[in-house]
Amino acid sequence: MIYNRNYNWPKEFLFLYAFLLALTYSPVVSAHVGSSGVIVQKQAGKYQLLISIKPPDVVPGTASVTVFVENGRVSSIGARPIYFRSGDKGAPTHDILTPTGQNRYEGDLWLMDSGSSSIELSIDGPDGKQQVVVPVMAVATALREMPEGTGFGLAAMGLLLVVMLITIIGASNADGIVAPGQAPPAKIGRRRLAGMSVGLVVIVLILAGWRSWWNSTAEDYRNVQLYRPTPIRSSIQVADAQRQLTIQFDTTGFGKDRQKRRPLSYLLPDHGKLMHAFLVRMPGPSSAGLDAFAHLHPNRRDTLTYEATLPALPGGRYLLYADVVYRSGFAETLTDTVDVPALKTAGSLPGAKVASAAKPSDIDDSWLVAEPMGVKAGAENVPHLDNDMVVCGKPGASVKLADGSTMLWMDKQSQVLEVGKLYTLKFAVADAQGKAAPLEPYLGMGGHAVILRSDGTVYIHLHPVGTYSMAAEGSLVGRIADTARTFHYPNAVQFRDSIDTYIAKLKTMPEVEKNKLLAAAIPGMSHQMKTNNMVEFPYAFPRAGHYRIWVQVKRNGQVLTGVFDTQVNEPLL
């Protein structure tokens, strides 16, 4: 086990504190909208690694680290947590992971404080030494209540200890006046009773003080340490046949509650965009739901306000997920629901608003209206956009794209997937003649994917390298290289203006040059496929249920979106 050497507490105390804290609360929230684990698949030198990190939901707590060496000869793998705030100088030494199988290494690391952090892996072997930094958000996301049986057991043991301690104090006060071989005096009983009474008072005062400290600590945990996403207010305004989406950070309580504060002037662009907003239509009276989808990139109007022109989406109530990254490397998904008004088609009424007139505010915005999510009668475990073909002897799925090409879901291990199992979701694109269709970079990478559980409780924005933010990794890698013990933020206005200038420059650049610049800004993110018509994403589904997957690639300058459904069940025992 590792603990941060900034703390001088013994490990036994840390374990007891974390144990009691974990028993005292009940789950109420989940990080990254139901997908708290971090999965990374990347090349480091000659090593191809698949990394899974499960952060604790109570801090202090231990993060579970698993590394699969898919390629390369490894002798040992070390791991250590590094916080953005303290950097490399304030981090502990590496802990050696334990080999648990062929090319598999595991270990647990203590995360002692909340905040933006990372796990640094040090790989050593005949193929050289490499380091990999994986962003991990060390935040408390759960409240737990002590089980009733455990509470009764601890209360009984505590009462026994109190009685024994009072008895010992009384005996010490009385028996100490009796010399060896002498008969006890008549007043020994009174002395014993007086000693026990004083001991009882002292113990009661100690327990009262401890209870006050514990209640204060629990209240601080509940109100300060427990993570709560930054609230946002989203709305739609209609003007000149355009529907404008406005997303505004709600800063209510920022001045009084430090838990709510966010450095909103210090947002970082993630593969060229300050915000990635996803809209998905919810089920309603006229819609089966999850049929309309949009991937938008709102422009920053001011520090608190972001705006985007809506594409030709049908009206209805939509789920909104907005991804942002702060200068510390802390990545956050903001959620809301928004009512999108329907726009009438041309010619229906004089002066009618025309949906087709909508022009995207960002050239990289994309959207799709597909078949609603649902299950055919008699095929409850076989979603209708899934398992319609067999690819190389394995279940597969296919869907037609907007340009006439076909996207195929390759290498599915089974028709129904399992919770918690690491999958590499592979997708290929073939043209109308069935030949491999070369893909172009989309925002500097091979593709994007969004996975959403049917009830909206699980959401993830995936990249070919995994479930984490590229900007977060870059920020944390830069902080580790910084030799300063503490980090000092630059001037807020200058920082914000420099980011806005950078993004404005990206918008004017030709596509090829823009992708080169984005790729240069995220070294180590290259995830080249053996064939250039394929893209893959590592992921483990966190809960059983019915999921929809949107896969986005780019071809001939056009963003293409394929949509697939799948069923995920609990693993069979």
Q: Domain for residue 110, yes or no? A: yes
* Separation CA 461–CA 292 (nearest Å): 17
What pLDDT sits at residue 83? 92
Q: Domain for residue 456, yes or no? A: no
How, if at all, do strands 331-340 and 276-281 pair? unpaired
Quick one: 94 and 67 in the same domain? yes
Q: Domain for residue 359, yes or no? A: no
Quick one: 117 and 26 in the same domain? yes
Quick one: 130 and 169 in the same domain? no
Q: How far is CA 411 from the centre of its chain?
A: 26
Residue 103, domain CATH: 2.60.40.10
Q: Domain for residue 200, yes or no? A: yes
Q: Domain for residue 321, yes or no? A: no
Helices 148-175 and 188-220: angle between axes, nearest 10 degrees? 150
Quick one: 83 and 202 in the same domain? no
Quick one: 164 and 53 in the same domain? no
Type of residue numbered 113: D
Quick one: 134 and 15 in the same domain? yes
Q: Which residues constitute the domain of residue 81?
A: 11-138
* Separation CA 416–CA 570 (nearest Å): 10
Residues 86, 486 contacting (CB under 8 angstroms): yes
**Residue where one domain finishes, among candidates 196, 225, 254:** 225
* Residue that has been written with the tokens 């026990």 in this structure: 196
Cβ-defined contacts of 522-526 (< 8 Å, 24+) = 522/271, 522/444, 522/470, 522/471, 522/473, 522/474, 524/42, 524/44, 524/473, 525/42, 525/444, 525/445, 525/463, 525/465, 525/470, 525/473, 526/43
Quick one: 31 and 78 in the same domain? yes
Positive or negative torsion for Cα 175, 178, 180, 182: negative
Condensed to tens digits (0 to 9), the pLDDT of residues 469-508 reads 888 888 999 889 988 888 889 999 999 999 999 999 999 9
> 404 — alpha (psi -120 to 50), left (phi > 0) or beta?
left
Going from the C-alpha of 96 to that of each of 48, 133, 135, 413, 437, the distances in angstroms are: 19, 16, 19, 32, 44
Type of residue numbered 376: K
**Residue where one domain finishes, among candidates 194, 225, 256:** 225
Q: Domain for residue 523, yes or no? A: no
- H helices of 112-147, in order, are none
Going from the C-alpha of 160 to that of each of 148, 192, 218, 296, 464, the distances in angstroms are: 18, 19, 25, 63, 57
Type of residue numbered 165: L
Condensed to tens digits (0 to 9), the pLDDT of residues 436-449 reads 999 999 988 889 99
Q: What is the dihedral of CA 368, 370, 374, 377, to 10 degrees?
A: -170
Helix (H) or strand (E) holding 409: strand 406-410
Tokens of 180: 């060896």
Quick one: 28 and 131 in the same domain? yes
Quick one: 115 and 206 in the same domain? no
What pLDDT sits at residue 396? 62
Quick one: 27 and 74 in the same domain? yes
* Separation CA 486–CA 87 (nearest Å): 7
Helices 492-508 and 511-521: angle between axes, nearest 10 degrees? 140
* DSSP conformation class of 265: G
What pLDDT sits at residue 30? 37
Q: Domain for residue 59, yes or no? A: yes
* DSSP conformation class of 88: G
Going from the C-alpha of 308 to that of each of 15, 276, 280, the distances in angstroms are: 48, 11, 15
What pLDDT sits at residue 256? 67
In the chain, the number of structural domains is 2
* Separation CA 357–CA 345 (nearest Å): 10
What pLDDT sits at residue 555? 93
**Residue where one domain finishes, among candidates 111, 138, 165:** 138
Count of residues making up the chain: 573
What pLDDT sits at residue 115? 83
Tokens of 79: 């791991």
Q: Domain for residue 174, yes or no? A: yes
Residue stretches of the chain with pLDDT short of 70:
1-32, 173-186, 255-260, 285-288, 344-358, 374-396, 522-531, 573
Q: Which among 39, 37, 41, 36 has a CA at the least distance from the CA of 535?
A: 41
Going from the C-alpha of 447 to that of each of 42, 464, 474, the distances in angstroms are: 15, 7, 19
Residues 6+ apart with CB under 8 A from 505: none
Tokens of 481: 């290289």
Task: Give exposure, 541-556, as e/b (b: 16+ Cβ within 10 Å).
Answer: bbbbbbbbbbbbbbbe
Quick one: 201 and 108 in the same domain? no
Quick one: 27 and 103 in the same domain? yes
Q: Which among 448, 424, 471 has a CA at the least distance from the CA of 559?
A: 448
